[in-house]
Amino acid sequence: MNLPSACRPTAIAALLLAVALSACGGNAPSGGAASGPAAASVTTGIVRADDWVDRIEALGTVRANESVTLTAKVTETVVRVNFGDGDLVTEGQVLVDLTGRAEVASLEEAQANYTEALKHYRRQVDLVEAGTLPRSQLDTLIATRDAAKARMDAIRARLADRVIVAPFAGLLGFRQVSQGALVTPGTPIATLDDISRVKLDFSVPERHLAALAAGQAVEASSVAWPGETFHGVVTTLGARVDPLTRALTVRAELPNPDLRLRPGMLLTLSLLPPPRRALVIPELALIQVGSQQSVFRVIDGDRVEQVNVRSGARRHGEVEIVEGLAEGDRIVVEGTPKLVSGALIVDASRG
C-alpha cells in the first residue's frame, strides 16, 4: 500500500513503538515475584554405631569323630558274623568270631600246666620256710610257675585276636565277609564310624587369620537338609598355611545326635568371630560411581552436601562406613538421583 508522503513518518514511528512494547512485554514480570528451584523430597536416616560380625564364608567336608576299618589280625575261618549292614553297635560288642579250636586246646593245656606249677610251688614254700629245702630250688619253682602263666596269657591274647569287637560305639558300614570265609591279616571286615559328633574341616584365606580363634561359633547348612542350620564351634586351627592356596585349614566340631550328617558331606558354613563396633548406613544411601563412593549429608536442616566415603563390609541391606562420616550424621537414603551438592530438600521421613 502506498501512503502519502506526509503520513509516512507517523506510520514508521507507530511501528517502532509497537516493536519496543512487544520486546519489553516478553521480559517483564507477570505480576508475581521470581521463584527459585523447588526443594527435592527425600527420606533420610542417621549414621549409627552397631555391633558388626564379620561372617567368613567357606565350604567344609564332614569327617567322623572316630573312624576305623575293622580287619582280621590272623589267618582263620569266619565262624559267625554277629552284625548286619549299617548296625549301631556299642563299645566292646563282638562282631565276628573266627575259628580257634587249636588255640583253645593249647589254652587248656597251658592252664593245666600253670595249675600244676602253682600247686608245686605252694607245697615247697613251707619246706623252704622250715629250712628243709634250699632257697635256690624255690626260685626254680617260681620261674616255672611264671613261665606257665606267661604261656597261658599269650594263648589268651591269640584267642582274643580271633574275636573281632567294636573298639568304640558307632555306625557300621557294609559287611564285607560271610560265615565260612577265610580271612587273612588285613582283610577288611567293615567300617565303623562314630558320628554322634562330627568334625568339619574347611579352609580360610590367610587374610582372616587374625580373626580366627578356637571356640568361635560356626553355622553350617547342607543341600541334603534345606532350611536346617547346624551349629558348632571351632576346635583347632591348622599349624601351617598352605603355600599354594595361602589358606589355613580349620577344624570345627558339630553335635550330630540324630546322625543326619555323614562323613564326606559338603557343607556351606559361616564362621562368626566376636562382634566389633562399626558405623552403619543403609546400603541404598551409598552412591557408587566407578571406584568413587559418596553419600549426601544433610546440613543446616534443609540442604545437602555430597561427601566422599570409604565403605567396608556389607550385610542384609546395610554397609559399614570406614571413613567419611561420623556417628549421628543425617544422610539421604532415598531420592539421591535428583540431588546435587547444596540442593534444598524436604524430608518426607519426618512427616
Contact between 345 and 339 under an 8 Å Cβ cutoff? The reply is: yes
Range ranked top by mean pLDDT from 6-15, 35-44, 149-158, 240-249: 240-249
Q: Report the range of poorest mean pLDDT among 121-125, 162-166, 313-317, 328-332.
A: 121-125
**What is the SS3 assignment for 193-262?**
EEEEEEEEEEEEEHHHHHHCCCCCEEEEECCCCCCCCEEEEEEEEEEEECCCCCEEEEEEEEECCCCCCC
Range(s) within the chain of domains with CATH label 1.10.287.470: 100-161
pLDDT, tens digit, 9 for 90 and up, residues 11-47: 444 444 444 444 444 444 444 444 556 888 999 999 9
Domain 100-161, architecture per CATH: Orthogonal Bundle (1.10)
Range(s) within the chain of domains with CATH label 2.40.30.170: 57-65+197-272
**Has residue 322 got a pLDDT over 60?**
yes
pTM of the predicted protein model: 0.61
Class for domain 57-65+197-272, per CATH? mainly beta
Residues 6+ apart with CB under 8 A from 230: 219, 220, 221, 222, 254, 256, 261, 267
- Burial class, 297, CB count within 10 angstroms (exposed 0-12 / middle 13-18 / buried 19+): buried
Range(s) within the chain of domains with CATH label 2.40.420.20: 42-51+278-350
Torsion of CA 335, 337, 343, 345, to 10 degrees: -10
Give the pLDDT confidence score for residue 67 in this predicted structure: 95
**Has residue 5 got a pLDDT over 50?**
no
Give the pLDDT confidence score for residue 171 in this predicted structure: 95
Domain 42-51+278-350, architecture per CATH: Beta Barrel (2.40)
**More confident call, 96 vs 105:** 96
Count of Cβ atoms closer than 10 Å to residue 288 Cβ? 9
100's grid cell? 580257634
